[in-house]
Structures are given as structure tokens and as C-alpha cells.
Amino acid sequence: MYSNFQQQNQNNLNDKLTQSIHVNRLLLSSAVNDSYQTFEEKKTFFTRIHQKTIDEFKKDENISLVQLRNKIVSLFQLNDVKVDIYVINKEYVITDATFEKDIGLDFKNIFGGKKYFDNISRDNDIHIENDLLIDYMDESIKVYSCASLNHDKYLQMSFADPFIYKKLRQTVENISKSTQNKINLFRITKTPSNEEYYENILNDETIINKEEYLNLQKKFPINRVTDDAIINANRQNKIIRSDKNIAKNLLTFYIPIFSKKKEGSSLDRNFIMKMDIDISEYLNQQQKNKNIFILLGIVLFTLIGILYNFIKNHFYFPITKITQNFKDNITINDPDLLSKKDEFGTLANEYNTLYSKLQNQVENNQHLLNENKQFIADMVHQIRTPLTVIMTNASLIEMQTQDQVSSYIKQINSAINMLSNSYEDLAYGITNDTIEYKPSEIDISKLLHERIDFFEVIAEANEKTIVTDIAMDIHLYMNDIELERLIDNNLSNAIKHSHDKSKIKIILEKINSEVLLQFISEGKHIYDVSKIFDKNYTESYGAKRSLGLGLNMVKTICEKNNIYYAVNSINHMNTFTYIFKG
């Protein structure tokens, strides 16, 4: 807001400066034009006077120029115009003059001077200069006329009105006073040596000799860059701003009075106005605004601090305490918070009540879970003995029975082995989080053959054949029960989900320091291999339902022992791959 406010103030200042420049430029150009307009109306009259002066001079060339001037002034009653007469030789130097300060002036040192007199010498006409000049030596505005007397001499006259110059000075002072801006007016003049200089039109300096005065002026070569603001404003024909006096609260502008020289005009257009604008009022207001915003900022930050502390003590701290208790899963014991009569106090007390109920429910559920787990453990223990008896007696019956019933005995043995495998899964499932299964060195080649022999009965009963490609004498460092669960579940799934009369291939090989174990079976396509190891996930296989626990148990064992596991299903060939790292 402060930045926007300051920008608006800056825009207002720029508008004020632009308006001030425009007004002063308009007033000053009008004053200069009015001052010069008087001479425009008298040029015909000045031509008549010049012609009469030539006639009188030719009658008596020995007459003094002062006498000649007095005679002309009396003849034409020139009471409001000051007249001076100059004699110029063929070297373009003033040899005699009624205005003695100009004697010795060499026009070859004045831009366009030689060319001007060369043009005059070609005819007998009287030439009145288009440009009106300000003469600082007698503080007047003059117009010059000139004619050739012969090839060796020129007669020049000047017509000056000192009151117009004084009026111009007074007008500039009035403009400066009314607009409260300090104003100076400069005129740019060129020299024959391709240089330019400027003169202060409002100059108060006393000038004794014009030649010396011109020689003392600082010259600026036209083809050389300069940092002088007056010269640059004229060359570039644009307003130049200077901040060198900003410490004094002043901005200085150098302004071309006339945008360009008008053709055929009697007015020298190379005028530059220097204007100093006092911006102390703006700067004081800017400082006041700054102080107001500083005070506003202090008040605002104080209010924000009070509001912050209020929110922190009445909202942030209670919310933090409550959420921290949520994270820590403990009751809220802060007496200040519990004694509050607002929403936070109500929330804290309600939380404690709900937490207490939840804890009671959790304890009840844990008690039920423990009882359920103990029941399963007892049942597993109770099943072990009769299952062992059944398996032993089934083997004895198979040895003594006749061939006619041997197929039935195989079915019974298959069912017993499947029941035994499920029993071992159940036993591991209820004990893996309470019993530490320590690893040891295992001959996986031997263990794999033993488990295949165990499942051979189940495979035969289901009219499926197990073929092997098992490398011998491969050892692993792993718990034997967990390795057995991994093998058994893969064999069981392969038998259960493969096509009838198909082959199940088991591959075991060592590649460098890694051991590769694969179970390959031909069965229905596995549609979502990314979920096949998830708990309770099963794909629909008609009547062959599954609990979805076996492969999840395999996944748990693999992740515990850093075993890579993956499944691939292409063209009804399902491959379960396990890589044991060395």
C-alpha cells in the first residue's frame, strides 16, 4: 500500500512538473515573440533610414559617424530607437563606429559573417538581417542592416530599443516569480570554426569589448560529444532533466523554447530555458507520508502481535496439545485444557471419554483374540496325535491291502497329506509372531526331493506328474521350517490349480552366488499377478476355492529372508520364481 501511495505521489509530481514546464515554456516563448514583433513591423522604415544615411555619407565621406548619426536621428525624429553606424573594411573588420566597443570586431570570427558580406558586395541593395540579436554590451535588442559602399567598404547600421530588452528581462522575472520557479534564458550561437557556444540573455555582467567577450566564451565542437546540458538540449531538441541539486530540493530542467526554426522568421530559434523547480513541498509531504505509514506499520504489527498471542494461547496451544495426545495415543491430562468451558475443553473431555471406551473395547478384543489364538493352538495340538495315528495306520493298510482297493488307499493318503500340509501351515501361522525361527545351513536340494516325495501321492491322486531339474548339493542359510513352508505352498498350489493330466516342473539351479527356484505348471491364466501374494486374495477357479493365506505366508517368509519373488503367467503357463541371494 505504501509503495502504491508513493507511486501515486510520484505520478502527481511528474504531472505537476510537466504542467509547470509547459506553462513556463509557453509564457517565455510568448514573451520573446512579443519582444521581437516590434522590429518586424519597422523593417521597411529602417530600410528608408539606411538609404538616407548612405546618401548623406556619400555627400561627405569625411563626416564623423557621430555627426552623421545625430543628423539622421534629427531628420527622422528617432526618439525611441537607438541608432549606431559602423564602417567595415574589405577584411570584414569594423574600423569605425558610433558604438566604440564594437570597433575592431572581426566578422570572419562570427559564424556566417564573411558569407554575409560577400553576398552584400554583389549588389547595391540594402540588406536587413533576418535574425534579431541581443547585444549584451548595451543591453538592447537590435536589428542590423548593411549595404556595400564600394568594393573596399561597407556601411552597417543597427537599430536598437533598450526598453524592449528591459521589458523582456522584466517579463522573465515576472514569470519566474508567478510560477515560483527560477528561470534563465540562453541563446546558442555557432562559430565559423564549426563550434557553438551559449550566452545568458539575462546576463548582468558588464562587457567592455565584444571581441574579447566572444573569445572568452566556452566553445563546444559540433562534432564532439559533450555533457553540457544546455548544448545537449539544443542539439537533441528535447527536455533534459538534471538531479545534481536534489540535495537542495531542486530539480533542474533544460528546455528548448522553440521546437524548430521557422523558415523566413526573424527570430533566432536556438533558445534554451533553464528552470529550477523547488520540490521541497513534495519531499516534505513524502516524508510525512512515510512517517504516517511507519506509525501505521507499528500499530499494525502491534495489533498483529496481540492477535498472534491471542490465537497462539487460545487456539494454537490447545489444538497442538490435543493433536499431540492423538498421535501419542494417550489421554489428555492437562488440567487447564480440561477445565476450559469452550469448544476445546469439550473436545478434550469428549476425547478422554471416547479414549477410555476405546481402550476397554481394545482390551476386550485382545482378550478374545488371545482366547481364539489359544483355542486354535490347543486344537492344533489336539489334531497332531490323531493325524499321526491316521497317517501311520494308512501306511500299514496300504502295505497289506489288495490291488483292488489300492486306488482308494491312494486317495486317502492324498487327503491325509493335504490335511497334514494344511496343519503345518496353520501351526506356522499361529506361531511365527511368537516363536523365533532361527536360520541354519540347509541342503535345499535334499529338502526339495523330500517334499516332492511327500506331495507325489497328492499329485498321483489328482492325475498330475511332477518332473524335476534339481541341481545337487546346493546349500542355503535359512530356517528349515520357513523354507519347507515356502516349498510346500508352491507345490500344493501347483497341484491344486494345474490342468488335469498335466506336468508340474520344479527347477533348482545355482547361478553365480544366487540360487534360482522355479515352480512351473500349466493352468488357468492368472489375471492379476500383482495381487496374487496379497492376503485373502484368490482368483476364481470354480469349485477349487482357496483361503488365500498360503502365498501370503510365502510372501512374508520371502520378505523376512530377503528372497526375491515373482510370478509370470503367459499362454496358461504359470511360473513362480524365487531367487535366494548369496
CB atoms within 10 A of CB 300: 11
Check the CA dihedral 461-464-470-474 and report its sign: negative
CA angle 112/117/118 to nearest 5° reads 95
Extract the C-alpha cell encoding 368: 478374545
Give the pLDDT confidence score for residue 267 in this predicted structure.
43
CA atoms within 13 A on the CB side of 339: 3
**454 class by beta-carbon count within 10 Å (0-12 exposed, 13-18 middle, 19+ buried):** middle
Extract the C-alpha cell encoding 145: 542592416
Cα–Cα nearest to 511, from 561, 578, 452? 578
| DSSP designation for 315 | I
The values of phi and psi at residue 418, to 5°, are -65, -40
What is residue 517's three-state secondary structure?
strand
Amino acid identity for residue 393 in this structure: N
Q: Report yes or no: 29 and 105 within 8 Å, Cβ to Cβ.
A: no
Residue whose grid cell is 545537449: 232
| DSSP designation for 107 | G
Amino acid identity for residue 103 in this structure: I
Q: Mean pLDDT, consecutive 10-residue segments, the chain of 582 residues?
A: 80 83 79 71 86 90 91 88 91 91 86 83 84 67 86 87 74 78 84 83 67 80 91 89 87 82 48 86 83 89 91 82 82 82 84 86 80 64 60 65 58 66 67 76 93 85 90 93 89 89 94 94 89 79 52 90 93 93 80
pLDDT in tens, 450-487: 989 888 888 888 888 999 999 999 999 998 888 988 99
**Taking the model in full, what pTM does it have?**
0.44
d(Cα 17, Cα 251) in Å, to the nearest integer?
Answer: 9
Alpha helices in 430-538 (DSSP H): 444-461, 480-497
CA angle 361/366/370 to nearest 5° reads 150
Beta bridge partners of 510: 515
d(Cα 163, Cα 41) in Å, to the nearest integer?
Answer: 16
Count of all residues that appear for the chain in the document: 582
Alpha helices in 401-479 (DSSP H): 406-429, 444-461
Alpha helices in 270-404 (DSSP H): 280-311, 317-328, 335-338, 343-400
Residue whose grid cell is 570586431: 105
pLDDT in tens, 26-62: 877 777 777 667 677 788 888 999 999 999 998 888 8
Distances in Å between the Cα of 513 and the Cα atoms of 255, 474, 559, 582 are 92, 11, 19, 5
List of E strands, 65-206: 82-89, 94-97, 127-128, 133-135, 140-150, 153-161, 181-191, 195-200
Residue whose grid cell is 554583389: 122
CA angle 239/242/246 to nearest 5° reads 140
Q: Report yes or no: 51 and 126 within 8 Å, Cβ to Cβ.
A: yes
What is residue 142's three-state secondary structure?
strand
Whole-number CA gyration radius for the chain: 60
Pairing label, strands 563-570, 573-580: antiparallel
CA atoms within 13 A on the CB side of 322: 20
Q: Which residues of 325-358 are buried (b: 16+ CB within 10 A; e: fewer)?
A: beeeeeebeeeebeebeeebeebbeeebeebeee
Extract the C-alpha cell encoding 61: 565621406
Check the CA dihedral 306-307-313-317 and report its sign: negative
DSSP 214-244: HHHSPPEETTS----HHHHHHHHTS-EEE-T
The values of phi and psi at residue 269, to 5°, are -90, 0
d(Cα 572, Cα 556) in Å, to the nearest integer?
Answer: 26
